[in-house]
Each structure stands twice: as structure tokens, then as C-alpha cells.
Amino acid sequence: MGDMNGKDAVRTMNSTSIRHGEHVDTIESVDVVFRAQRKLSFTYGAVFFAVTLAIPALSVWWKSWYAVPIWGGFTANYLFVSLLYYIFLWTMAWTYSKQADKLDEQLMHMAADITAANTGEEA
Amino acid sequence: MNTIAIILVIGLTLFTIGLSIFSRRFTRTTADFYLAGRKVGSFANASAISGDYLSAASFLGVAGAVYASGLDGVWYAAGFAGGFMVVVLFIASALRRFGEYTVADFAFGRFGSSRIRLITVVAVLLTSLFYMAPQMFGAGTTWQVLVGTGFFGMSPYTSGVVVVAAIIAFYVAVGGMKGTTMNQIFQFWWLAFAMIMVVVFAFGNGFSYPKALADASAEPIVNTKAFTVAELTTPDAAGLTPYERAAEVMSAEELAAVDEFIASDAEGKIPVAFYAGNKLHDLRDMLFREPGHRYNTFDQFSMVLALVLGTAGLPHILNRYYTNPSGKAARRSTFWVLVFIGTFYILAPIAGLAGIGFIRDFVAGGGELNAATVNGLLVKPDQLMPTIAEILGGQWLMGIVAAGAFAAMFSTVGGLLIAAASALGHDVYEKYINKNASEAKRVAFGKASVLVFATLALAIGLAIPYFGLDQAYPALIAMMVTWAFSVGASAFVPMLLTGIWWKGTTERGATAGMLVGLVGAITIIFLNILQQLGTLGHEGILGFVGSLTYPVLFTFPLGLLTIIVVSKLDGQLPKNVDEIWMRIHGTASERHEKQHGLDKVGSMFAKK
């Protein structure tokens, strides 16, 4: 188990809860957190894979995408892979990161509330 | 002899050694040696991850692949960058939250068996060896261009491999993760500087991106390859010999040299140039701006999947996520990595495209290069970066680029050696061989593991030309790195994804899935190598499997499916599965860390 920064010195756990200092996770609170994180990650993942796999699909089946120059020697395919794809990645990573931070904050409070309700103590 | 360039490379090398010696005083515990004490902040960690990630494949290989293959080469850059999205979306936070040292620790903690930990260790070591191979090949080829001669009777290639293996082994063993982290931060920024300088010099010499792309696409792509006399005169399936194909492209003067080679019935090989075919749209000419030089329909998808999934399966990159102080910092690091490497990967294809015109004009003007050319094209595209630097900016720019190439190899092989040392030292020695070993003994074993793996890297580097791999593939560096990605994507990613996101994953399921992915990927890669070397034919099932350049489109879903099916059939979840689930997805630890300020970045250089 990780015990590199001393935090685990205060950790205790059993089959239904984990305590870190004053803070407790129960399996109910973790399930709520898990479902919300899964929804966020898999929504972004679906967009990421749809766009990323669309590029080779268009390269195979849509001539206007891969063979018609639109700016100097650039085709839409070359322009997207060499430049626009990075802008797509940066936008995805930034918005995901911000939303995940926000979700973390919400879930921390939510988990604390659920735990307090279940254990009857202040989480 | 490129004296100024060599002095710059020596200066960089001495600086990296100095950094390692400086960091030695801060490496006391195994946490320091493997994880830099878990005190690396987002920006520093992003720089270190970028340095770790940007290997010879990115610095030499991407530009070389674009130079040789046009748009199919540009995909290396886009795919290498895209892989970090999978890391940030599905893996980074959970891995950090689970709070272990290594991927093998995760496997053990999640599934609770020594069997899966040891299989993960084997997979880590194999993936690391696959990744080391192109770095060592890059060392040899860069030395050929930079120095041009060997020492102690060794060839220039061998000398480069030996020097790089020795230096990295020294500085990783001395500096551990802290020294390696500091070196990687410095090396990333040097790499970025070198790439920017090449592109700035290209634009300063009249390069125009849209015009150069139009010019490069005016004629079909020309391949270069070396043949023996027998190969030159043997007709292919279309009834044409390589000599007849070369006659369509090469000048009368260059063709006369080939005629003389054939007439003399000399041993060895001679490089020739010929028009490339289009593997994707076989009725179209193979133009630089269009897909199809390297990949058919299957490989277009398989290559993309290998690159975007493979990053999440690289043990030396995953290990870096354990050095983040919190899950939020892990996500923030990944965003900065994408900005850093994205900028780098936008520039690398520009350098590759620029090389076509500048090298052709330089050779046509009577210029002489250390790198071999035919028809105004480099015989080894992986030598593009130092070559174009010499043409555009003389010895100074060549020195900056050559130092960048060595920095890329140092930083990546350094990370791989740490990952391999972690796998052997932490996952095997500390867990099974000597559980009560003192800190000093553990660190000593880690350093010994580094030396063993550096020796293996050296052997692999020397084996590549021995087996003729450098002649079998165009732009070999990028190709070999993608094999490493394929092995990582097939072995680790299905296990990590299901382990993190599906509670029903069992130990037997995960073990079976990893084995299927690992063995399947390595088998297909070796069959492809055998086919390229002419040992395996194209007929039958083996011939078909051997024709797959990248196995991921088969092996990733196969690994995933195996995990799901075996887990369903098995149904034996770990007894403490709820505890494990709470460790992966719970927030109590982060709330506690936040309350006590433990999520803030401390100093990597704090003395204990």
C-alpha cells in the first residue's frame, strides 16, 4: 500500500468504509462518485474516438477530404491532421480538466453528505 | 569532423551528468529513487513527461517519416499527441488515487494475486525493450551523421550506440527519478528549442508551407531502398524489376553507377530510387499530401488505434503519474503535456516537408553530406533532422539538433530504465526476493537493474543492423516505436480500463486478457518482421497475419473481450472488492489531503 507521504498513517478501512483522518468514504458514496465520473469520462471519450476514427474513415471513403487541395497544397485531410487536430485536443483536454475539477468539488461534498447520513457522524 | 557540433553535444552530455550528481544528495529512499518523492508539480511534471515521451521517434522519426511518406507520416505526430487524451480521460486520476509505485502494483492491488503482478512485470520489461530499440538505433544513425567515424575499431553506428547506453546507465543509476526528472525537464526544453530553430531557419530560407506542400505533391512520392544485384534484376508481381522501376526516376548519371554495380556482380547492396505505389487507393498516384504510402485500409485504422491507445500502455509514462501530488495535478499535467508536445508535433512535419526541397537543391548544387543520398533523397530518412540542420544553419544548428537528438534518447531511455528498474527492483526484489531489505539494499538493487537493462539496450541496438531491419522498413525509428505502442496498448490498456471502470473484472479475466494481448501483439509484430525480411511468404493465414503492420485493431478488442468473457465465466471477485473500489474511486483521501495541504506541491529538493 502507498505510504509515501504519511497520509496513510491515518487510514483505516473495512468492507464498507475507508477513513482518512476525519474523512470517510462509504461504498454508497463511492458509487455515486463513480457513476458521475464515468458519465463525464465516457462522454468525452466518445467524442474523442468519434473524431479521431472519423479521420481515417474519411481518408478511405471521401475523395473531397483526401484529394482536393483547399489552400496551396493542403487538402482538408492534411490540414486537419497537421494542425486542426491539435486545437481539438487542447480544447477537449482543457474543458474536460475544468469539468472534472468542478465535478471533484461537487462529489467531495456529496460524498461527505452521503457518508454522514449513512454513518450518523460528521464526515 | 563537425567540431563545433561535437563540442555542443559533449557540453549537453556533461551538463546532464552534472545534474544527476547534483540530484544524488536528494535521493535517499526508494520513493525518491522511483517517484521523486511525489513532489513534482504540474508544470515541471508536464515538462518531464514531455521529455520522457518525446523520444528519438518524435525528434528524428516523425520528421523522417513525413519526409519519406507524406501524410501517412504526419499521422505519427497526431497519434502520439492524441494518446494523452485517453490517459487524461480514463486513467490518470484513478491511477494517482490508487496510490502505488508502478503498473504492476496497480494490478496486484486491484486483483490481489502475485501471478498478475509478475505477468505485468514481464509485460513492462518487454514493452520497455521494444521502446528502447528505436532509441538505440537513433543513437547509432545520429552518430553516423554527426561524427562520421567510430572509435576503438568500432563502426560509427556501433560507437553511437555504445556511448549513449553508457552515459544513460551512468546518470540514471546515479540520479534516480529525481535526477532523471531534472534531466527530462531540461532535455524537453532543449528539444523544443532545437525543433523551433530548424523551422525558423527553414522559413528564413524562403520556405512556404502551402507552396512546399503543393510542390512536393506535384509528382508521386519517390522511395529509396538498397538492393543486391539479384534483387535488382528479379521481376516483382507486376513483371517489373526494381532496376526497371529505378530507370523511370533516376538520372542517367546515377543509373550508370547502378549499371556498373550490376555488371561487376558485386556483393552488398546499392540504393536506388523508384516511384511509390498507393496502398490505400491503388488507382491513384501516391502523392505526398494524400494517405496511402504506408497504410492500406486496415492499417489506417489500426495505426491510429495503436498510437492513441498505446500511450496509455507505456509503463514509463504511467509511472510518471504517480509522481503527481494529486488527481487534479495529474489532469493539469496532462493538459500542459498536450500543449507542449502538440506544439512540437505541429513543427516536426514542417521540418520533414522542408527537408525535401532543401536537401534536393543542396545535393543538386554539388553539396556533400555525411548521409548517403540517391536522386536527391536521403537513403535513411531518419537522418533528416541533423542533415537539414547542417544545410540550413551550418555546424552550430547541426550541433543544437544533434544535442537535441541525444537529449531525446537520454530522456526516454532514462525513463525506460527507471520503469524497468522499478519492475525488477520494486515489484520483484522487494516483494518476493528480499522483503526485509534495507533502503540502501533496495536502491542498490534498483541501480543494478538499470545497468542490466542498459546492457540489454546496447545489445538490441547492435542487433538491428545485424538482422537487416534497417533495410527492411522505411523510417524505421517511428515504426519501431509504434510496435512498442502496440504491445503496450494490447497488454496493459484492456486491463487498466476494465480494472478501473468495471467492478466485475476478475483476476483470471485480467490475467487472460493481458496474456492474449501481449502474446498476440508480439507474435504479429514478429511475423511482420519475418515477412519484410523475406523469410515468411504472403500466402495462407500466417501470410495474412504477417502482412498486418500494426496488430492493435485485432489484439486490443481481443484482449478486452477475453477479460470480459473470462471474468463473466469465472465470477470470482476479490473478497475485498468494495475496499478496492473505494480506493480507486473514493474521495476521502483527497478531502483529507486538501484539508491538510498535502495536495500542494513541495520541493523536489527538500532534504529529509
pLDDT digits (tens, 9 = 90+) for B438-464: 878 887 888 888 888 889 989 998 999
Residues B508 and B547 in one domain: yes
B439-466 and B114-146 helices, crossing angle to 10°: 50
Residue finishing a domain among B249, B275, B301 = B275
Evaluate if residue A121 carries a pLDDT over 60.
Answer: no
Calculate mean pLDDT across residues B487-508: 94
Residues B197 and B238 in one domain: no
- Give tens-digit pLDDT for B164-198: 888 888 877 776 666 677 777 888 899 899 999 99
Residues of A in contact with B332 (CB under 8 A): 97
A73/B217 touch (CB, cutoff 8 Å), yes or no: yes
A5/B38 touch (CB, cutoff 8 Å), yes or no: yes
Three-state secondary structure of B313-376: HCHHHHHHHCCCCCHHHHHHHHHHHHHHHHHHHHHHHHHHHHHHHHHHHHHHCCCCCCCCEECC
pLDDT at A5: 40
- In-domain check, residue B281: no
User: Which of A36-45, B174-183, B221-230 holds the top average pLDDT?
Assistant: A36-45
What average pLDDT does chain B have?
Answer: 85
Calculate mean pLDDT across residues A27-37: 85
Task: Report chain B's C-alpha Rg in angstroms.
Answer: 24
Q: Which of A79, A86, A105 has the highest number of chain B CBs within 10 A, making it the mutation to test binding with B? A: A86
Calculate mean pLDDT across residues B52-81: 89
- In-domain check, residue B554: yes
Check if the beta carbon of residue B408 is closer than 8 Å to that of residue B58. yes
Q: Which of B96, B573, B592 has the highest number of chain A CBs within 10 A, making it the mutation to test binding with A? A: B592
- Higher-pLDDT residue of B568 and B438 is B568
Q: Which residues of B362-389 are buried (b: 16+ CB within 10 A; e: fewer)?
A: bbeeeeebbbebbbbbbbbbbbbbbbbb
pLDDT at B317: 78
What totals of helices (H) and strands (E) does chain A contain, helices first? 4, 5
- In-domain check, residue B603: no
Calculate mean pLDDT across residues B4-9: 85
pLDDT at B474: 66
Calculate mean pLDDT across residues B510-539: 92
Place of cell 494475486: B113
Evaluate if residue B499 carries a pLDDT over 80.
Answer: yes
Give DSSP secondary structure letters for B252-292. Answer: HHHHHHHHHHHHHT-SS-EEEEEEPP-SSSTTS---TTSS-
- In-domain check, residue B282: no
State the CATH number of the domain containing residue B323.
1.20.1730.10
Check if the beta carbon of residue B172 is closer than 8 Å to that of residue B35. no
For the question of an ipTM over 0.90, the answer is no
A73/B284 touch (CB, cutoff 8 Å), yes or no: no
Cell of B269: 547492396
B327/A104 touch (CB, cutoff 8 Å), yes or no: yes
pLDDT at B324: 64
Calculate mean pLDDT across residues A59-80: 95
| Segment among A103-107, B171-175, B209-213, B552-556 with least mean pLDDT | B171-175
Three-state secondary structure of B366-432: CCCCCCCEECCEECCHHHHHHHHHHHHHHHHHHHHHHHHHHHHHHHHHHHHHHHHHHHHHHHHHHHH
B595/A19 touch (CB, cutoff 8 Å), yes or no: no
- In-domain check, residue A5: no
Cell of B54: 518525446
B280/A85 touch (CB, cutoff 8 Å), yes or no: no
Domain that holds residue A89: 26-119
pLDDT at A13: 57
Evaluate if residue B591 carries a pLDDT over 50.
Answer: yes
Evaluate if residue B12 carries a pLDDT over 70.
Answer: yes
Residues B328 and B266 in one domain: no
Domain that holds residue B359: 3-215+288-593
Judged by a CB distance cut-off of 8 A, whether residue B570 touches chain A is: no
Residue type, B563: I
Residues B209 and B229 in one domain: no
Calculate mean pLDDT across residues B320-327: 66
Q: What is the domain count for chain B?
A: 2
Residues B205 and B268 in one domain: no
Residue A86: phi and psi, rounded to 5, are -70, -35
Percent of chain A's residues with pLDDT above 90: 49
Q: How far is A20 from chain B (nearest CA, A)?
A: 6
- Give tens-digit pLDDT for B212-224: 999 999 999 998 8
Evaluate if residue B383 carries a pLDDT over 50.
Answer: yes
Q: What band does B27 get if pLDDT is binned at 50, 70 and 90?
A: low
pLDDT at A10: 47
B291/A77 touch (CB, cutoff 8 Å), yes or no: yes
Residues B248 and B341 in one domain: no
Reference B385, options B403, B368, B367; nearest CA is: B403
A7/B598 touch (CB, cutoff 8 Å), yes or no: yes
The continuous run of DSSP H or E covering A8 comes out as none
Q: How far is B73 from chain A (nearest CA, A)?
A: 10
Residues B342 and B307 in one domain: yes
Evaluate if residue B602 carries a pLDDT over 50.
Answer: no
Q: Which of A8, A27, A30, A51 has the highest number of chain B CBs within 10 A, making it the mutation to test binding with B? A: A30
pLDDT at B604: 43
Residues B294 and B409 in one domain: yes
**C-beta atoms surrounding B608 within 10 Å:** 8
- In-domain check, residue A75: yes
Calculate mean pLDDT across residues A42-63: 95
Cell of B104: 504492476
- Give tens-digit pLDDT for B463-475: 998 888 877 776 7
Check if the beta carbon of residue B352 is closer than 8 Å to that of residue B64. yes
The Cα–Cα gap between B247 and B274 comes to 8
- Give tens-digit pLDDT for B100-127: 667 888 899 999 888 999 999 999 889 8
Cell of A15: 468492507
Evaluate if residue B93 carries a pLDDT over 70.
Answer: yes
Check if the beta carbon of residue A25 is closer than 8 Å to that of residue B582. yes
Residues of B in contact with A77 (CB under 8 A): 71, 289-291
The Cα–Cα gap between B19 and B253 comes to 52
Residues of B in contact with A74 (CB under 8 A): 210, 213, 289
- In-domain check, residue B606: no
- The residues, ordered by sequence, that sit 6+ positions from B448 with a Cβ below 8 Å of its Cβ are none
Residues B261 and B314 in one domain: no
Percent of chain B's residues with pLDDT above 90: 34
The Cα–Cα gap between B465 and A3 comes to 46
**Which residue in A has a C-alpha nearest to residue B39's C-alpha?**
A5
Give DSSP secondary structure letters for B19-53. Answer: HHHHHHTT--SHHHHHHGGG---HHHHHHHHHHHH
The continuous run of DSSP H or E covering A13 comes out as strand A11-13
List helix spans (H) across B91-233: 92-98, 103-111, 114-146, 156-204, 209-216, 229-232
Strand boundaries in B443-558, DSSP class E: none
- In-domain check, residue A15: no
- The residues, ordered by sequence, that sit 6+ positions from B404 with a Cβ below 8 Å of its Cβ are B59, B190, B191, B193, B194, B195, B385
The Cα–Cα gap between B28 and B23 comes to 10
| Segment among A19-23, B46-50, B397-401 with least mean pLDDT | A19-23
Evaluate if residue B210 carries a pLDDT over 90.
Answer: yes
**C-beta atoms surrounding B126 within 10 Å:** 17
Q: What band does B153 get if pLDDT is binned at 50, 70 and 90?
A: confident
Calculate mean pLDDT across residues A19-41: 83
Residues B434 and B465 in one domain: yes
Residues B302 and B242 in one domain: no
Q: What is the domain count for chain A?
A: 1
- In-domain check, residue A70: yes
Judged by a CB distance cut-off of 8 A, whether residue B349 touches chain A is: yes
Residue B222: phi and psi, rounded to 5, are -105, 125
- In-domain check, residue A53: yes
The Cα–Cα gap between B196 and B176 comes to 30
Residues B317 and B268 in one domain: no
- In-domain check, residue A18: no
pLDDT at B169: 82
Q: What band does B25 get if pLDDT is binned at 50, 70 and 90?
A: low
- Give tens-digit pLDDT for B338-352: 999 999 999 999 999
> Please, what is the Cα angle at B136 between B405 and A83, to 5 degrees?
45
pLDDT at A25: 77
